[in-house]
């Protein structure tokens, strides 16, 4: 099969028939073999009934329904597990992503050899204050932290080699960082394509400003777990050792200073009367706790059944 199109959806009954017809037209024009996997993320309108009707009309359309709303990441991860196409395309169900972009995205994966191609909605029709300005700041921060030079990490329109989606796991609200997850899984050829952004035709947006707060928390989480998930001592142990040594050196310096002043008959303050002494004690306690957290993390990681599970690209 050439292409799998994964469409996560939540309360999009009005847009689904138009989206399905649009995808079918593009696929038929280019004679692709394809499937459309629509993942209903616990919709409470008539979305699932529409998916069932579309499947009856076109067997290439498949549906997966969640009992309740789990979020876009869960829908995408379930779609990744179910898809079978050589190239996997993800797009939103609200018609803001154009299926006309599919042929070029497919070509970039198959002919240019990209592992992942992310869409860039260079010209947007969203509210500048509500979405555009926060999105630009969010994307700038993510570029600096990840080293991946993409302009629009959160664009729902992306293309992947099948091996990529079968090698990564997306959870919580990590769908924003799929390029970052793919990079740390060893897929380094990541490209970008300017794509058309359509005005929303039906319904209302499902995302609020709180997604940016959650987004940064997820960025910190994924940065830590991917870098130190198998070696937590390298994070906690280093900072714990530094904090403990700083506190220990300060405490010793205060004690030695007191003894020197005392031996020369110079007036001096008691060590316990100096704020620096309590800061030194605090640093030593925090350092010990960080070191202990790293040690416990290592013990947990040692018993993880996936501790020696690594991504292998080829065997001969």
pLDDT tens digits, 211-232: 556 666 666 666 666 666 667 7
Q: Are 95 and 18 in contact (CB under 8 A)?
A: yes
Q: Are 253 and 280 in contact (CB under 8 A)?
A: no
Q: Is 203 left (phi over 0), alpha (psi -120 to 50) or beta?
A: left
For position 50, what pLDDT does the model report? 96
Distance CA 92, CA 121 (A): 13
What does the radius of gyration of the chain's CA atoms come to, in whole angstroms?
Answer: 26
CATH fold, domain 3-228, is Spore Coat Polysaccharide Biosynthesis Protein SpsA; Chain A (3.90.550)
Between strands 34-40 and 3-9, the pairing is parallel
Q: Is 11 left (phi over 0), alpha (psi -120 to 50) or beta?
A: left
For position 7, what pLDDT does the model report? 97
Query: What are 162-210's pLDDT values in tens digits?
Result: 999 999 988 877 888 899 889 888 899 999 999 987 776 776 665 555 6
Residue of higher predicted confidence among 310 and 235: 235
For position 272, what pLDDT does the model report? 81
Query: What are 92-123's pLDDT values in tens digits?
Result: 999 999 999 999 999 999 999 999 999 998 87
Compute the average pLDDT of residues 61-89.
94
- 307 pLDDT higher than 60: no
* 3-class SS shares of the chain: helix, strand, coil, % to 5: 50, 10, 35
* Sign of the alpha-carbon dihedral angle for 209, 210, 212, 215: negative
Spell 20-48 as b/e; 16+ CB within 10 A means b.
bebbbebbeeeebebbbbbbbbbbeeebb
- The pLDDT-based confidence of 144 (bands split at 50, 70, 90) is confident
Residue of higher predicted confidence among 97 and 144: 97
Distance CA 194, CA 176 (A): 17
Distance CA 76, CA 65 (A): 12
DSSP string covering 49-75: HHHHHHHHH-TTEEEEE-SS---HHHH
- The closest alpha carbon to 137, from 225, 209, 230, belongs to 209
Distance CA 315, CA 49 (A): 45
Query: What are 34-58's pLDDT values in tens digits?
Result: 999 999 999 999 999 999 999 999 9
Which residues, including other chains, have CB under 8 Å from residue 271's CB and lie 6 or more apart? Answer: 254, 255, 258, 277
Query: What are 280-305's pLDDT values in tens digits?
Result: 999 999 999 988 888 887 777 667 66
- 147 pLDDT higher than 90: no
Residue 302 is inside which H or E element, if any? Answer: helix 275-302
For position 260, what pLDDT does the model report? 85
For position 66, what pLDDT does the model report? 95
Q: Are 146 and 124 in contact (CB under 8 A)?
A: no
For position 211, what pLDDT does the model report? 58
Query: What are 150-164's pLDDT values in tens digits?
Result: 988 889 999 999 999
Distance CA 281, CA 288 (A): 11
For position 205, what pLDDT does the model report? 63
Query: What are 124-137's pLDDT values in tens digits?
Result: 665 555 556 667 77
Place of tokens 């991946």: 148
Residue 263: half-sphere exposure toward Cβ, Cα within 13 Å: 6
For position 198, what pLDDT does the model report? 76
- The pLDDT-based confidence of 274 (bands split at 50, 70, 90) is confident
Q: Are 194 and 120 in contact (CB under 8 A)?
A: yes
For position 129, what pLDDT does the model report? 54
| Residue spans per domain, the chain | 3-228, 233-302
Going from the C-alpha of 119 to that of each of 16, 99, 212, 262, the distances in angstroms are: 21, 12, 19, 71
For position 270, what pLDDT does the model report? 82
Read off the tokens for 217: 């928390």
């Amino acid at each position: 099969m050439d292409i799998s199109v994964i469409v996560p959806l939540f309360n999009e009954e009005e847009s689904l028939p138009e989206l399905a017809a649009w995808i079918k037209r593009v696929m038929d024009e280019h004679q692709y073999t394809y499937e459309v996997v629509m993942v209903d993320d616990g919709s409470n309108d008539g979305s699932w009934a529409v998916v069932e009707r579309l499947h009856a009309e076109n067997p290439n359309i498949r549906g997966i329904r969640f009992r309740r709303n789990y979020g876009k990441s869960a829908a995408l991860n379930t779609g990744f597990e179910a898809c079978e196409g050589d190239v996997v395309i993800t797009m939103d169900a609200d018609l803001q992503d154009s299926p006309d972009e599919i042929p070029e995205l497919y070509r970039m994966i198959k002919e240019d050899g990209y592992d992942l191609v992310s869409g860039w909605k260079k010209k947007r029709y969203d509210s500048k204050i509500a979405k555009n300005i926060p999105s630009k700041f969010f994307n700038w921060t993510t570029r600096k932290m990840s080293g991946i030079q993409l302009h629009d990490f959160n664009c729902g329109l992306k293309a992947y080699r099948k091996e990529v989606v079968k090698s990564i796991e997306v959870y919580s609200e990590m769908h924003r960082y799929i390029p970052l997850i793919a990079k740390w899984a060893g897929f380094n050829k990541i490209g970008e394509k300017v794509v058309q952004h359509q005005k929303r035709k039906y319904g209302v947006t499902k995302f609020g400003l709180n997604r940016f707060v959650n987004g940064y928390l997820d960025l910190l989480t994924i940065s830590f777990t991917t870098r130190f998930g198998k070696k937590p001592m390298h994070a906690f142990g280093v900072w714990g050792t530094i904090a403990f040594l700083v506190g220990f050196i300060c405490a010793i310096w205060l004690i030695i200073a007191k003894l020197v002043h005392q031996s020369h008959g110079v007036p001096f303050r008691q060590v316990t009367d100096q704020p620096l002494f309590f800061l030194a004690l605090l640093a030593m306690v925090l350092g010990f706790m960080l070191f202990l957290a790293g040690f416990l993390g290592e013990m947990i990681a040692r018993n993880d059944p996936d501790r020696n599970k690594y991504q292998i690209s080829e065997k001969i």
